[in-house]
């Protein structure tokens, strides 16, 4: 049986966007190393509720590293110290007994704090909406071989499509750039037949909307690639720049 852990959490608390915030300290003992970090927050929230106190607000949904809903800084690192891991899949065995964990929300002007560890990431939705839709006819499923896609193109498009839109790239970038997110979305459709009719228009629209939302420019720090829980390559950012100015 794994040895229980004692951890001290310093958690950002902020009741509403226009209110001042600060760190609250909570010490939890007897935690199983097999708990995820979000499950540890569940334990803490149960104790807070039992005492009649306000629970900690944080985003989550699938808790399987798929949806991209969760995310915050753990000791200054987006999603914590484990590579290619979402915070919902970050387990307490990654930490030392007695360690102090500082939990803070994403820090970016385009991601305003809503409450505690939850930020408003609707800027990502508006970027995607700016790209419009694919004009390829829809309806019943077409014959699988009617649109030929090479194995290389399909695999490359899938690599870009793994982006879950969690915002870790923005939170880790010194310029709070959303370039990796936008590049991944463009590279997904830009390599497939279905994405060709609006390809150039989409490349311009998404990048222009990214600037309007207040995200910074890419400074080639590559922190976005390091923090991405899906390991998406920053090479796609160069690809995105070429897309905008091509033909």
- Which residue has tokens 């793994």? 162
pLDDT at 53: 98
Q: Are 113 and 20 in contact (CB under 8 A)?
A: no
What does each C-alpha distance from 46 to 5, 56, 120, 127, 141 come to in angstroms?
18, 10, 25, 37, 47
pLDDT at 50: 98
pLDDT at 1: 76
pLDDT at 64: 96
Q: Which residues pair with 23 in a beta bridge?
A: 12
140-176 in b/e form (b: 16+ CB < 10 A) is: eeeeeeeeeeeeeeeebbebbbebbbbbbbbbbbebb
Statement: 122-245 belongs to CATH 3.20.20.80 = no
- Domain coordinates in residue numbering, the chain: 5-113, 122-245
Going residue by residue through the chain, which has 247 residues, state the pLDDT in tens, using 9 for 90 and above. Answer: 789 999 999 999 999 999 999 999 999 999 999 999 999 999 999 999 999 999 999 999 999 999 999 999 999 999 999 999 999 999 999 999 999 999 999 999 999 999 999 999 999 999 999 998 887 676 777 777 788 899 999 999 999 999 999 999 999 999 999 999 999 999 999 999 989 889 999 999 999 999 999 999 999 999 999 999 999 999 999 999 998 776 5
Those residues whose C-beta lies under 8 Å from the C-beta of residue 32, and which sit 6 or more positions away, are: 2, 4, 5, 92
Task: Place domain 5-113 in its CATH homologous superfamily.
Answer: Beta-grasp domain (3.10.20.30)
pLDDT at 106: 97
pLDDT at 98: 98
pLDDT at 138: 65
pLDDT at 147: 80
Q: What is the pTM of this model?
A: 0.93
pLDDT at 47: 97
């Amino acid at each position: 049986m794994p040895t229980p852990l004692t951890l001290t959490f310093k958690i950002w608390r902020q009741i509403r966007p226009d209110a001042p915030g600060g760190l609250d300290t909570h010490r939890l003992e007897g935690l199983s190393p097999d708990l995820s970090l979000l499950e540890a927050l569940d334990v803490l929230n149960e104790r807070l509720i039992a005492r009649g106190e306000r629970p900690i607000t944080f985003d989550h949904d699938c808790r399987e590293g798929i949806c991209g809903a969760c995310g915050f800084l753990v000791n200054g690192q987006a999603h914590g110290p484990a590579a290619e891991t979402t915070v919902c899949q970050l387990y307490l065995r990654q930490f030392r007994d007695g360690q102090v964990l500082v939990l803070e929300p994403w820090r970016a002007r385009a991601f305003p704090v809503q409450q505690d560890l939850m930020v408003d990431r609707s800027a990502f939705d508006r970027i995607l909406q700016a790209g419009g839709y694919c004009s390829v006819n829809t309806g019943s499923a077409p014959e699988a071989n009617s649109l030929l896609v090479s194995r290389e193109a399909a695999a490359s498009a899938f690599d870009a499509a793994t982006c879950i839109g969690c915002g870790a790239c923005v939170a880790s970038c010194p310029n709070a750039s959303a370039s990796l997110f936008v590049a991944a979305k463009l590279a997904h459709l830009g390599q497939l037949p279905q994405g060709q009719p609006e390809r150039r228009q989409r490349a311009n629209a998404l990048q222009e909307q990214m600037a309007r939302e207040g995200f910074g420019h890419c400074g080639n720090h590559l922190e976005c690639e390091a923090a991405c829980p899906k390991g998406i390559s920053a090479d796609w950012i160069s690809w995105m720049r070429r897309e905008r100015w091509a033909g």
